Amino acid sequence: MSLAARTGPPRLRHLTHKRTVLGLSTVAVGLAAAHYAGPLTNLAGCRSIAGYGRLREVTPFLWNGPRLSSRAFSSSPSSLLSLTPSLSKLFKFDTASSSQSVMPGLTPPQPAPKWSHTAEDITRLTKEAIEHDRELQDRIAKLKPEECTFESVFLALAEGEAKFDAITEPLSFYQNVSASKELRDASNEAEVLVRDFGVESSMRLDVFETKLAAEKNIKASGRKLNAEEQRLVDKMILEGKRAGLALPEKERDELKALKKELSQVCLEFSKNFNEENGVVSFTLEELKGVPADVVSGYTKRTENGKELYDITHKTPDIFPLFKYAENPETRRRAHESYDDRLAINVPLLDRALELRRKCAALLRYKTWADFVTEVKMIKSGKGIEDFLNDLEQKLRPLGVKEREILLGLKQAEHKAKNLPFDGEFYIWDYRYYDRKFIEESLALDDSLVKEYFPVSVVVPTILEIYQNLLGVRFEEVKGETWHPDVQMFAVWENGAKDENGFVGYCYLDLFPRASKYSHAAVWPLLPGYQRADGKRSYPLAAMVANLAKPTPDRPALMRHDDVVTFFHEMGHVFHGLLSRTQFARFHGTSVARDFVEAPSQMLENWCWEPRVLEKMSSHFETKQPLSADLIDKIVKSRYVNVGLFYLRQLFFAKFDLKVHTDQDATDYTALWNNLRTAISLVKGGKQGPGQGSFGHIVGGYDAGYYGYTYSLVFAADMYATVFKKDPLDPKLGQRYRDSILQPGGSREELDSLKEFLGRLPNSDAFTKELFGNAPSGGVGASL
Ligand SMILES: *[C@@H]1O[C@H](CO)[C@@H](O)[C@H](O)[C@H]1NC(C)=O
Ligand SMILES: [Zn+2]
């Protein structure tokens, strides 16, 4: 079946989840190895991942993230058990042949970490780290106002958090990769301790007061801090204010109570989301069109002598129905059931929004959106609004055109089948005709493409592309890791002559196994920073993925989509390796959350460039690269129906924005349905409470949904402006290193972008890419 795996048009990779939860030290750089299909599929892969940069920040209010999971994105554990061992030895990394390799015999100036912890070690080391950090804060809190300086307060705190994270992050990581249940459990418990301690730290009024005193003293002394130091001061103070520490006691207590309730409401919402288990039932006749292998997975039962199939609302069950069920009545009924499935969450959302309005008011922000975006690149609710309006206006003509084409398909089909046709395009028609359109216009066979992407070719080639582009070398080193499959690399500057050329460590844990994190994500386990003794602490990034396994008659093969995912994730690895900042909290991917995906999203473009595709592909039998014809089809598939896709994204983003900017409550069910019709150009049926399933809104993406598209705009701009002319040119790679990767979060993202682009960013490249490449115009004529 061509493109059977496709769930929605473009390949929107996940926004990384920078979890700035009440002081918890986490930056996530993760994503589901699947198409992102909007909130209705949920947040799979949008996981908070260990990282650094303990931003003691109070945005999502103790979101301790019960997984909003989807079976669609996880491999079933049983299938993992049969895995052949030592897959990782499938390929060798041959760096020695390079003319400019690293001098042999160099030893990294920082030893690789140990991975031999016992469960007791994990618990003990975590507790010790917490104790140390608490003592440090106690000591700082005892300073007399006149003793508060940049060094005694800000620098001391920055060093404390860097050391704390360097100990606790790797310990929290075991839970996602260790084969030992004991270690995983201990690691999980350790993370809870760390999180609780984060909450405690974020609420320390005494420490906050020393920060204020230090700031005052710095100003009075006329001392000039460098830009990054000043940023540290500003950010640390802002965190305290955002946590409510600058408020009078009564209001502070009020805020605390509101936040507590808010976190409970959000938890309950997600719990309902996770535990939802409704079904919708159809006869075999009604399911006509749905592939037999999908139907065989539905639960069959007999009711009043009639055979019925129960279909859950989970993606792998119900999405094929939306895509393939020929009977529009079936699709409509399934859709209504789907939209209604979390009606139980409606009052919870009402309450959460109410609480957020109150919190924002207490903290003196006009709206919750203003509060949330203050620490994002976009800066204000108004910024989001302008961004979304601009894009909607640009995309609408494209969406209208695509809708016309799909409606034409519908009309023709209804005529041929003698079905009534009312001239409307409904939401339950969207996936069905999107799929039909792709099959008819592209005839691209996913499984054929896959034969050209053996893991053993793709992975080394991608590493080689990155190494050449960014001027670094991966040297595989033997040593302790958390599992025998894992490969460890010392990363050096190209041509390094001495230990100054050391960049950091990278681990690749690429193949599935039982109890391992089941998507693809990067854990930036250690940050780089300037130590107090003047030496540098070097970063470490770990890529965890689940690449395909071989079968008896085929080597491990990757879908094109997997190739894109891998390339994307490696982009995060290099962001984590090639940053050089003074403070750990600004290192690498510790940038604003609405920017953090942009670099990796930009890098995805390499996987759509014909010459790169040719370089990366090699048929597993013939060893031939992809043909020009197949490459052309792959490239075309990227932009199919993108107008409708992004309008749908804009609908989610606008709903998210509106509910977080309006001063008063409203009927959110009506709002959901009306906005959907108005923006995404599809008609709904009965007004269902779809907002009850909008998990993002309680999952840390509140007033943040726009970020998915926002960072894509920068990605497109960066690519078109700088790299498009020669994506493999090391000079451009160096420019990217200097302007984007190196500064990390140590300055405003906009400044990095301006430097890289040579001007302010804009959305032209993004819209041009969609319009210039949308195949719908051309294909429409042939329908
Ligand atoms: C790591 O594993 C723990 C425990 O299973 C889970 O709660 C957490 O979300 C996982 N991290 C990621 C990034 O998925
Ligand atoms: Zn990502």
- How is residue 717 written in tokens? 């701009």
Model confidence at 97, in pLDDT bands (50, 70, 90)? very low
Mean pLDDT of 541-559: 91
- How is residue 764 written in tokens? 């032209």
Identify the DSSP state of 440. H
Q: How far is the CA of 509 from the centre of ligand 1 (A)?
A: 16
Is the pLDDT at 568 greater than 60? The verdict is yes
- How is residue 72 written in tokens? 């669609």
Catalytic residue among 57, 451, 569, 609: 569
CA-nearest residue, atom 11 of ligand 1: 49
Instruction: Give residues with Cβ within 8 angstroms of 269, minimum separation 6.
Output: 345, 348, 349, 352, 695, 698
523 within ligand 1 shell (Cβ under 6 A): no
517 and 52 Cβ atoms separated by less than 8 Å: no
* Element at 345 (helix H, strand E): none
Q: How far is the CA of 49 from the centre of ligand 1 (A)?
A: 7
Beta bridge partners of 524: 541
Domain total in the chain: 3
Q: Do both 84 and 183 map to the same domain?
A: no
Q: What is the pLDDT of residue 16?
A: 34
Q: Do both 266 and 327 map to the same domain?
A: no
Query: What's 99's domain CATH number?
Result: 3.40.390.10
Mean pLDDT of 406-421: 97
Task: Please check whether residue 360 lies inside any domain of the structure.
Answer: no
| CA 62 from centre of chain | 19
**Higher-confidence position of 48 and 750:** 750
* Alpha-helix residue ranges (DSSP H) falling in 142-248: 156-177, 181-202, 205-221, 227-242
Task: Please check whether residue 60 lies inside any domain of the structure.
Answer: no
Mean pLDDT of 52-75: 24
The strand pair at 502-509 and 540-544 is best described as parallel
3-class secondary structure per residue, 449-508: HHCCCEHHHHHHHHHHHHHHHHCEEEEEECCCCCCCCCEEEEEEECCCCCHHHEEEEEEE
173 within ligand 1 shell (Cβ under 6 A): no
657 and 369 Cβ atoms separated by less than 8 Å: yes
Q: What is the C-alpha separation between 16 and 25, in angstroms, rounded?
A: 14
Q: Each residue of 686-704: pLDDT tens digit?
A: 999 999 999 999 999 999 9
Q: Give one DSSP letter per residue of 520-562, joined into a string.
A: EEEEEEE--EE-TTSPEEPPEEEEE------BTTB--B--HHH
Q: What is the C-alpha separation between 776 and 95, in angstroms, rounded?
A: 44
244 within ligand 1 shell (Cβ under 6 A): no
Q: Do both 243 and 323 map to the same domain?
A: no
Which one of 310, 335, 360 terminates a domain? 335
Q: Is the dihedral of CA 679, 680, 681, 682 positive or negative?
A: negative
175 within ligand 1 shell (Cβ under 6 A): yes
706 within ligand 1 shell (Cβ under 6 A): no
Q: What is the C-alpha separation between 22 and 557, in angstroms, rounded?
A: 42
CA-nearest residue, atom 1 of ligand 1: 176
Q: What is the pLDDT of residue 7?
A: 33
Q: How far is the CA of 632 from the centre of ligand 2 (A)?
A: 26
Question: For a pocket test of ligand 1, which of 67, 70, 74 has the largest count of ligand atoms closer than 8 A to its C-beta?
Answer: 67
172 and 187 Cβ atoms separated by less than 8 Å: yes
- In this structure, the number of other CB atoms found within 10 A of the CB of residue 451 comes to 18
Q: What is the C-alpha separation between 42 and 318, in angstroms, rounded?
A: 14
**Can you tell me which atom of ligand 1 is nearest the CA of 50?**
13
| Helix 181-202, helix 119-141: angle, nearest 10 | 10
Identify the DSSP state of 277. -
Q: How far is the CA of 358 from the centre of ligand 1 (A)?
A: 31
**Higher-confidence position of 365 and 60:** 365
Share the mean pLDDT of the chain.
87
Instruction: Give residues with Cβ within 8 angstroms of 377, minimum separation 6.
Output: 592, 594, 595, 710, 748, 749, 750
Q: What is the C-alpha separation between 447 and 201, in angstroms, rounded?
A: 52
Environment class of residue 81 by beta-carbon count within 10 Å: exposed (0-12), middle (13-18) or buried (19+)? exposed
Is the pLDDT at 46 greater than 50? The verdict is no
φ, ψ at 46 (rounded to 5°):
-85, 70
User: Which of 622, 661, 518 minimizes the C-alpha distance to 72?
Assistant: 518
Mean pLDDT of 450-461: 95
47 within ligand 1 shell (Cβ under 6 A): yes
Q: What is the pLDDT of residue 101?
A: 61
Side-chain half-sphere CA neighbours of 426 within 13 A: 19
472 and 494 Cβ atoms separated by less than 8 Å: yes
583 and 536 Cβ atoms separated by less than 8 Å: no
Mean pLDDT of 70-81: 27
Mean pLDDT of 741-763: 97
User: Which amino acid type is present at position 491?
Assistant: V
Model confidence at 102, in pLDDT bands (50, 70, 90)? low
**Can you tell me which atom of ligand 1 is nearest the CA of 517?**
14
Q: How far is the CA of 386 from the centre of ligand 2 (A)?
A: 25
371 within ligand 1 shell (Cβ under 6 A): no
Which one of 296, 311, 335 terminates a domain? 335
φ, ψ at 469 (rounded to 5°):
-65, -40
Q: What is the pLDDT of residue 28?
A: 28
517 within ligand 1 shell (Cβ under 6 A): yes
CA-nearest residue, atom 13 of ligand 1: 49
49 and 702 Cβ atoms separated by less than 8 Å: no
49 within ligand 1 shell (Cβ under 6 A): yes
Q: What is the C-alpha separation between 437 and 323, in angstroms, rounded?
A: 11
Task: Please check whether residue 361 lies inside any domain of the structure.
Answer: no
Q: Each residue of 232-288: pLDDT tens digit?
A: 999 999 999 999 999 999 999 999 999 999 999 999 999 999 999 999 999 999 999
Q: Each residue of 360-400: pLDDT tens digit?
A: 999 999 999 999 999 999 999 999 999 999 999 999 999 99
Q: Do both 226 and 279 map to the same domain?
A: no
Task: Please check whether residue 279 lies inside any domain of the structure.
Answer: yes
Mean pLDDT of 80-109: 52
- How is residue 557 written in tokens? 């093969």
Is the pLDDT at 214 greater than 50? The verdict is yes
Q: Do both 236 and 310 map to the same domain?
A: no
188 within ligand 1 shell (Cβ under 6 A): yes
Ligand closest to CA 599: 2
Question: For a pocket test of ligand 1, which of 42, 69, 176 has the largest count of ligand atoms closer than 8 A to its C-beta?
Answer: 176
- pTM higher than 0.85: yes
Q: Do both 143 and 290 map to the same domain?
A: no
Q: Do both 104 and 127 map to the same domain?
A: no
Q: How far is the CA of 340 from the centre of ligand 2 (A)?
A: 31
Identify the DSSP state of 301. E
Ligand closest to CA 49: 1
- How is residue 639 written in tokens? 């932009």
30 within ligand 1 shell (Cβ under 6 A): yes
Q: What is the pLDDT of residue 86?
A: 35
Q: What is the C-alpha separation between 718 and 598, in angstroms, rounded?
A: 9
424 and 705 Cβ atoms separated by less than 8 Å: no
431 and 697 Cβ atoms separated by less than 8 Å: no
Environment class of residue 88 by beta-carbon count within 10 Å: exposed (0-12), middle (13-18) or buried (19+)? middle
Q: What is the C-alpha separation between 679 and 420, in angstroms, rounded?
A: 26
Q: Give me the sheet containing 29-31, strands edge to edge.
A: 29-31, 520-526, 540-544, 502-509, 487-493, 472-477
Q: Do both 493 and 593 map to the same domain?
A: yes
Q: What is the C-alpha separation between 570 and 461, in angstroms, rounded?
A: 12
Q: Each residue of 592-626: pLDDT tens digit?
A: 999 999 999 999 999 999 999 999 999 999 999 99
**Higher-confidence position of 602 and 106:** 602
Q: Do both 173 and 265 map to the same domain?
A: yes
Task: Please check whether residue 181 lies inside any domain of the structure.
Answer: yes
CA-nearest residue, atom 10 of ligand 1: 176
190 within ligand 1 shell (Cβ under 6 A): no
Question: For a pocket test of ligand 1, which of 27, 74, 175 has the largest count of ligand atoms closer than 8 A to its C-beta?
Answer: 175
Task: Please check whether residue 490 lies inside any domain of the structure.
Answer: yes
Q: How far is the CA of 50 from the centre of ligand 2 (A)?
A: 14
Query: What's 185's domain CATH number?
Result: 1.20.1050.40
Q: Do both 81 and 222 map to the same domain?
A: no
* Element at 396 (helix H, strand E): helix 381-416
Whether 215 sits among the annotated catalytic residues: the reply is: no
Task: Please check whether residue 782 lies inside any domain of the structure.
Answer: no
Which one of 588, 615, 637 terminates a domain? 637
Identify the domain containing residue 130 by its residue range: 119-271
Q: Each residue of 153-193: pLDDT tens digit?
A: 999 999 999 999 999 999 999 999 999 999 999 999 999 99
**Can you tell me which atom of ligand 1 is nearest the CA of 184?**
4
Q: How far is the CA of 16 from the centre of ligand 2 (A)?
A: 5
**Higher-confidence position of 79 and 550:** 550
Q: Do both 231 and 125 map to the same domain?
A: yes
644 and 402 Cβ atoms separated by less than 8 Å: yes
Q: How far is the CA of 249 from the centre of ligand 2 (A)?
A: 40
Please state which of the ranges 102-106, 460-464, 477-481, 749-753 shows the lowest mean pLDDT.
102-106
Q: How far is the CA of 15 from the centre of ligand 2 (A)?
A: 6
- How is residue 66 written in tokens? 């019960």
Please state which of the ranges 4-13, 126-135, 354-363, 606-615 shows the lowest mean pLDDT.
4-13
Identify the DSSP state of 225. -
187 within ligand 1 shell (Cβ under 6 A): no
Q: Do both 612 and 537 map to the same domain?
A: yes
User: Which of 97, 104, 234, 107 minimizes the C-alpha distance to 585?
Assistant: 234
Task: Please check whether residue 126 lies inside any domain of the structure.
Answer: yes
| CA 573 from centre of chain | 14
User: Which amino acid type is present at position 251?
Assistant: E
